[in-house]
A and B are shown apart, each in its own frame.
Chain A
Amino acid sequence: MSIASNIDAANTGSHMETNVHSLAEAPITIGMAGITKSFSGVYALTDVTVAFRAGEVHAVLGENGAGKSTLMSIISGVLQPDRGEITFEGSTASPLTPEKAADLGISISYQHPAIVEDLSILENLQVSLPPALFEGRKVSDVAREVMSAVGLDVPLKMRAEGLSIGQKLLLEIAKALATKPKVLILDEPTASLDKDASDMLFERVRAAAAQGTAVIYITHRLAEIRQIGHRVTVLRDGHVAGTGLVRDLSDSELLDMIVGRKLDSTFPPKAKPMLGQANLTVKSLGGHGFSDVSFEARPGEIVGIAGVAGNGQTELMRALAGLDAARGEVKLAGQRLNHKDLIHAAAFMPADRLVEGVAKSFSVRENAALGALEKFASFGFMSRRKEHQAVVDTFRELSVKTPGLEAKITALSGGNQQKVVLARALLEQPGLIVADEPTQGVDVGARFEMYRILREISGAGTPVVVNSSDAAELEGLCDRVIVLSKGRVVATLTGEDVVEAKIVAAAVSADHHAETGAERRADRSRGGALRHFLQSDNAPAVPLLAIMVALALYGYSQNANFLSSFNVYNTLMLATTLCFISMGQTIVLMLRGVDLSVGPLAGLSVVIASFFVNDGASLPRMLTGFGLMLAVAVVVGLANGSLVRYAKFTPIAATLAMYMGLQGISFLMREGPGGYISYDVTAILGAQIGPLPWAFVALIVCVIVGEYVLRKTRIGWQIRAVGSDEEAARRIGLNVNRLNIMGYVATALFVFVGALMLMAQIGVGDPQQGTSYTLASITAVVLGGTSLRGGRGTFIGTALGAVLLTEIFTAIAFLGLSQTYQYVFQGALIVFAAVIYTTLRGRPQA
């Protein structure tokens, strides 16, 4: 393969835009002058000056790490530049914030879509788009219109998790287009789109540009620039490497701008061609995200995996390391290995060091030794001497710079952390080294040592496979480079051909689009209303109701008084207390938190009331008491929320401390039961209509209103979005901290209402009461189907869960059964429910 043939391929797949009409005169929508941005001393952008004009599609090209994402983050207001000025339609716009950018009409479609999986598609649109867009029209009509702009036809009520990656991208683009922005930023929009979808997207982009939008189009693919780009700016190492009209530039000129980097001469010499048998053979390996990959390596050869990020390289690396199962064959030194063998034979260096590479709380020594502990042990007991010696020896070989073996891994520079990961790999004495982006986040000096070490390992006969998005690095390091595009091998370069230009050309010129395999998840989206209901948060209501009715009928068959108005009234009164408290618990659980302090808060509230709300007390005194209960609830909610969000306590730790504190205060106020609650107040709270307590009717209203707020109002979507995916919520523009703290306060307010009912129920201030509501509320919420993973919840389910729990309680007392049944029934029910819910909605990567 040569550059020429690749460029030919690129040209045939494109059709030059010819209707470029006097673009030079188009007004500048957004202008950037002298933009410089550095991260802890490393320059991501240096003196970048570029103008994006109305009605133009302006492509921004560059390799990974060239500074494209930083530039986009600055335009969308997420990052502030260190120096330089941004102008919008001629007037100064800096400093730019995300809100201001949105107000100006700058909208961005992220490469990793900010789509919240637990929300429905409609809710995703509603929570992300400005409310004005939906005003005066039927919401579903607006939503369909927004989606049809990108040719997306999926049920509005389907959960977004059912979308394929391509569909999520389209939805993200639809969101960006919907606001009719003045500046539209598209970050590698076609990465996961098939040919048809890409063509349709290009249509939309052209149409938007025709209406005067300045489109900023980030991509790796030259062919796409030819298809829709008017103007192109190439970034290289944070500098503008060149800019101009697309029609004036040839592909080879563009490639020169992208690459153009002088190769450092410090790469170790490459392997001499050896005659030996291949020691690593991969034959038609396929798995999630890649297929039919074959290559082999002879001893001493380093194999490089190349391609534009996200084209199956990561998945291939994981399969080679045995972390994911794959089809096909991997042979190491003539022996065929399945993925369980591979996980032991191969040593993996993950790309994301902090996620998979190191244990942050561990010392350098512990991190290095973890994979080979058994080698330093006799009879299962560690030998400190052996461990120390082996680690020191390896660190010497790798020249690891650390303050000491017991230093925390996070005290080391990125490069030295990576060396520790490599040391762990070497200590395992692996048969194969699989290094995913081994120099990512590694400083230049350590980088070249890394190259030397990898070369030495390979020279010693251990096959080394390296994935890198830096083509220059692959050129310097590898003897053989496999280029992937959309999961398939598009080029295998060896010997003289392993040069950056050929690698990049093969990667960016590949024009074949993703197979529609990605669409298979969409099948789940088809189906009728019943299917949607089964997927919905409220589905557990049906089995819960069924069990409730069955239990009621059984109780009735055993003892007709079970359904007497007296017993029904009592059961519902008890249930109302638990329901209100559980509704509060539902809110924090939806926010992926938990509140252990609800029980003691309810207890404390009653104790407070017992000092004010007594027979003969004046109305103002009683109102003071209620006011105090309310104030305590608000303070507790604020304290819980702030401890979790600002002091960074885990929700369990924060609310556990609160639990103990509140209980202590209750006991401080009253040593034992005392202070009878006013009979009149109790009577009012316990008033009934037929067999139903009024309070229960009020509860039903609350549940319905709460459910409405949760499903149909902005605050409801926001709470669920934050609980489901904090990162996506932040990018949508939600104030995550504020919503969380509000959630804890709302929880405490529900507990306040529950405490009023508890007050009527026990009628006296008793510091021992209330605490049991903590676990009971969690049980009720889980029975109701709210997920402890956050993002999904239902007040209806919670209410039913609470009523069912209470019904079990009374039924067992009523039927004269031993308490054993109560516990067993309760325990079995929660475990059973949790297993079923978890299995049914198990997310692919839970």
Chain B
Amino acid sequence: MNTANNATYGTMPPGLFGRGRPSFELGTVVLSTLALIVLCMIFAPSSISSGALAGSLPFAAVAVIVSLGQMLVVQQGGFDLSVPGAISLSVVISTHYPAGNDAELLPAVLLALAFALGAGLFNGILIGVVRLNAIVATIGTNALLYGGVIAISGGVPRTTTPLLSRIAGGEFLGLGYTVWYALVILLIVAVVLKKTVAGRRFEGIGANPAMARTVGLRVRSYELSAYVSAQLLYCLAGILLAGLTSQPTAFLGNSYLLPSVAIVVLGGTSLMGGRGFPVPTALAAFFLTQLGQFSITIGVPFSAQTIIQALALGLGIAVYSFRRS
């Protein structure tokens, strides 16, 4: 072809994560988080003391892992209500089977992962292949997982294995191990999603499955993979949670469902599916946790926290949907 023009299409954006400049979503979350930190410094300095952070960050890290799982599902236009069952099941498997015996921990963790794999395949097949509505399928899966939780634990908490407690609760460079795990998982999710062929296809399929089909991509397999990966992430989160809590109850997962969705939405991922935002999602998890700490410190009753979270969520959705329209 001899009609090549000399239009410039810009030079290649540099950097590992670079699209040249940060995304609107990242900017929004970073700014909100910074604003929150400033507010904390002025009105509630104790909420960002190293002691307070050492207490809250590991739980924020667990929320990060859970939310990344939920994000993958949401990217495929889905919605995962089986979060509570999945987390609770891995909590009870990793505490009840070893029953305080360190030697039994590894088999228990492997068992938990195997269950997670099964639950992910179950969800993925129901939704990706049988074409069930994601809400219905994951409600069902959640109940089945809770069936497992009760069958294993009888609903009674059991003390965490010392090894798991060390694995989850130790500190390195002033940060809890759990925070480091979350960062590693975040790095993996971000790199796979943004830097690999599979990740790019995954996002393309979520953005427009009909288009992806005309390009010849295997839409169903990728949808299925979202549910499987999500379950594995919930499982890891549950195991860490079991280590962080001295006597984890059988219903620990319940408190992670709604926040996981709120965090994903605040992180900028659209509930209609498409592009995912791993780093903003992780920051949003920190934001939401810290918002809770902030409101407790300034004397807002624990109860009213969810109102503040709801307002933050509503505002976040409004900002994103205004920008997208």
Contacts and interface: CB of A to CB of B under 8 A. Distances in A.
Given A656-B313, A667-B301, A767-B303, A834 B144 contact: no
B271 A653 contact: yes
A480 interface: no
B150 A835 contact: no
A644 B79 CA distance: 18
A361 B303 contact: no
B166 interface: no
Interface string A386-417: 00100110011101111011100000000000
A554 interface: no
Interface string B251-280: 000000010011001000011101100000
A486 B230 CA distance: 48
Contact of A382 (B5, B200, B305, B307): B200
A406 B10 contact: yes
A562 B270 CA distance: 49
B201 interface: yes
A312 interface: no
Nearest to B143: A827
Contacts of B142: 775, 827
A708 interface: no
B103 interface: no
Contacts of B217: 370
A818 B136 contact: no
Interface in A433-452: 452
A454 to B, nearest CB: 12
B137 interface: yes
Report which residue of A361, A395, A400, A788 has the largest number of chain B beta carbons within 10 angstroms of its beta carbon.
A361
10 contacts: A323-B213, A356-B213, A396-B5, A452-B3, A648-B321, A654-B317, A818-B150, A823-B143, A823-B144, A835-B132
B184 interface: no
Contacts of A132: none
Contacts of B216: 322, 343-344, 371
Contact of A456 (B1, B150, B210, B305): B1
A357 interface: yes
B276 to A, nearest CB: 11
Given A388-B12, A648-B325, A660-B310, A827 B141 contact: yes
B136 A834 contact: yes
A494 interface: no
B49 interface: no
A647 B321 contact: yes
A820 B13 CA distance: 55
A462 to B, nearest CB: 13
A437 to B, nearest CB: 14
Nearest to A649: B317
A315 to B, nearest CB: 14
B5 A399 contact: yes
Nearest to B155: A819
Nearest to B306: A664
Interface stretch (B26-34, B55-63, B191-199): B191-199
B173 interface: no
B210 to A, nearest CB: 5
Nearest to B213: A323
A752 interface: no
B81 interface: yes
Contacts of B46: none
A778 interface: yes
Nearest to B321: A648
B187 to A, nearest CB: 14
Interface size class of B (residues with CB under 8 A): 35 or more
Interface string B173-201: 00000000000000000000001111011
A323 B215 CA distance: 9
Contacts of A569: none
Report which residue of A402, A406, A453 has the largest number of chain B beta carbons within 10 angstroms of its beta carbon.
A406
B208 A358 contact: yes
A824 interface: yes
A357 B5 CA distance: 25
Interface string B291-325: 00000000001111111111101100110010011
B9 A668 contact: no
B10 A405 contact: yes
A326 to B, nearest CB: 16
B20 to A, nearest CB: 7
B196 A381 contact: yes
A529 interface: no
A778 to B, nearest CB: 6
A165 interface: no
B310 A658 contact: yes
A399 B12 contact: no
Contacts of B141: 827, 831
For the complex of A and B, 6 pairs with smallest distance between CB atoms: A667-B303, A827-B143, A664-B307, A661-B310, A824-B147, A359-B207
Given A660-B307, A767-B303, A831-B132, 17 more contacts: A348-B215, A356-B211, A370-B211, A396-B4, A396-B6, A406-B10, A406-B20, A649-B321, A656-B258, A660-B313, A661-B310, A820-B147, A827-B147, A834-B132, A834-B136, A834-B137, A838-B132
Contacts of A667: 301-304, 306
B146 interface: yes
A563 interface: no
B114 to A, nearest CB: 19
B234 to A, nearest CB: 16
Interface stretch (A174-182, A302-310, A372-380, A497-505): A372-380
Contacts of A350: 211, 214
A156 interface: no
A397 B20 CA distance: 25
B301 A366 contact: no
Given A380-B196, A382-B196, A661 B311 contact: yes
A823 B211 CA distance: 39
Given A668-B303, A671-B301, A818-B150, A358 B211 contact: yes
A385 interface: yes
B197 A373 contact: yes
A81 B13 CA distance: 47
A51 interface: no
B97 to A, nearest CB: 17
Nearest to A663: B306
Contacts of A656: 258, 261-262, 265, 313
Contact of B197 (A377, A388, A654): A377
Interface string A649-687: 110111011111101111110010000000000000000
Nearest to B82: A827
Contacts of A380: 196-198
Contacts of A453: 1
Contacts of A397: 1, 3-4
Nearest to A823: B147
Contacts of A819: 150, 155
A823 B198 contact: no
A356 B210 contact: yes
A788 B197 contact: no
A360 interface: yes
B131 A824 contact: no
A626 B303 CA distance: 24
Contacts of B198: 380
A380 B147 CA distance: 39
A788 B195 CA distance: 36
Nearest to A459: B1
A371 B205 CA distance: 11
A382 B201 CA distance: 11
A654 B271 CA distance: 11
A830 B303 contact: no
Contact of B144 (A323, A357, A391, A824): A824
Nearest to B146: A823
Contacts of B317: 649, 653-654, 657
A200 interface: no
A611 B325 CA distance: 43
Contacts of B302: 667
A370 B201 contact: yes
